[in-house]
Structure 1
């Protein structure tokens, strides 16, 4: 019984640590994209909005996490964006701009 409790606590701790690392990497990726497009990342943070199980490139299981963030084009108007992380790697960032175009960054190159 105690061993099961220890295993559960270790699993929760590992999950929490990997989520915090993924959040930090998501924030860095979003900040870079905002800088590239001259946007302001508001609150300098991203927030976990959801998780699901996915396959990693080697075929193993990993968590796919959705983080949401707020940004501004003009320093006044608050807009929403999202970033999907597969494991601890950025998979896709989506930002809608006032010009009507959507920026999607897909594992390597931004697409408008």
Structure 2
């Protein structure tokens, strides 16, 4: 009986980790897609790739996962550039990638 309980606890922990990782990847996809749309560039491959994972303290002092992602975009369809972002939980803490076009000058 104790073995069954231990297996159930481990399965629940694994599912929770997988679910949180999937939610973070979906959030990163939305952020990358929106950034590319705002900058007027093409978002390539329609996905993000997880590149890093580490434990880090949240503002509340509790430990949480910080996940790094990369994505590719193109300015004109012929080139390829790499964008990167870091999510701490579901909060974006770092982003490098396409920039929005400069606002028009008002005369």
Give TM class, smaller chain: 0.7 to 0.9
Alignment length (residue pairs):
97
Extract unaligned runs of 5+ from structure 1. Answer: 98-102, 104-112
Which residue of structure 1 aligns with residue 105 of structure 2? none
Which 4+ residue blocks in structure 1 deviate beyond 2 angstroms? none
CA distance in 2, matches of 1:16, 1:88: 15
Extract unaligned runs of 5+ from structure 2. Answer: 100-107
Matched, 1:59 2:61: yes
Which residue of structure 1 aligns with residue 77 of structure 2? 75
The offset of 1:52, in angstroms, is 0.2
1:1-112 → structure 2 map (5 Å cutoff): 1-95=3-97
The offset of 1:41, in angstroms, is 1.0
TM-score (norm 2): 0.83
CA distance in 1, matches of 2:82, 2:52: 15
CA distance in 1, matches of 2:17, 2:90: 12
TM-score (norm 1): 0.79
RMSD: 1.4
